[in-house]
Amino acid sequence: MRIGAHVDSTDPLAEAAARSADTVQFFLSDPQGWKAPKPREDAERLRTAEVDLYVHAPYVINVATLNNRIRIPSRKLLLGHANAATAIGAKGLIVHGGHVNAGDDLAVGFDNWRKTFAYAADSGGFGVPVLIENTAGGDNACARRLDALARLWDAIGDYEVGFCLDTCHAYAGGEDLLGLVDRVKAITGRIDLVHANNSKGAFNSGQDRHDNLGGGTIDPELVVAVIRAAGAPVVVETPGGVEGQTADIGFLRQQLGTASPAA
Ligand SMILES: [Zn+2]
In DSSP notation, 205-239 reads: -----EE-TTSSSS-HHHHHHHHHHH-S-EEE--S
Q: Domain range spanning residue 24?
A: 3-256
Pick the residue with more confidence: 123 or 11?
A: 11
Ligand 1 center to 148 CA (angstroms):
18
Residue 126 lies in a domain: yes
Task: With a cut of 60, say whether residue 262 has pLDDT above it.
Answer: no
User: How far is it between the farthest Cα atoms of the chain?
Assistant: 54
Residues ≥6 apart with Cβ < 8 Å to 191: 163, 164, 165, 181, 184, 185, 230, 231, 232
DSSP letter, residue 193? E
Q: In this structure, which residues have their CB less than 5 angstroms from ion ligand 1?
A: 166, 195, 237
Task: With a cut of 80, say whether residue 260 has pLDDT above it.
Answer: no
Report d(CA 2, CA 101) in Å as an integer: 37
Mean pLDDT of the 230-242 span:
98
The total domain count for the chain is: 1
Ligand 1 center to 167 CA (angstroms):
8
Ligand 1 center to 169 CA (angstroms):
7
Residue 134 parent element (H or E) = none
Mean pLDDT of the chain: 96
Report d(CA 223, CA 135) in Å as an integer: 16
Residue 194 lies in a domain: yes
Task: With a cut of 90, say whether residue 261 has pLDDT above it.
Answer: no
Q: What is the pTM of this model?
A: 0.96
Mean pLDDT of the 90-100 span:
98
Which band of pLDDT confidence, cut at 50, 70 and 90, is reported for residue 118?
Answer: very high
Ligand 1 center to 195 CA (angstroms):
5
Report d(CA 23, CA 20) in Å as an integer: 9
Residue 262 lies in a domain: no
Ligand 1 center to 234 CA (angstroms):
11
Secondary structure of residue 77 in the 3-state scheme: helix
The domain spanning residue 57 has which CATH number? 3.20.20.150
Residue 75 parent element (H or E) = helix 68-87
Ligand 1 center to 222 CA (angstroms):
17
Ligand 1 center to 68 CA (angstroms):
26
Task: With a cut of 70, say whether residue 87 has pLDDT above it.
Answer: yes
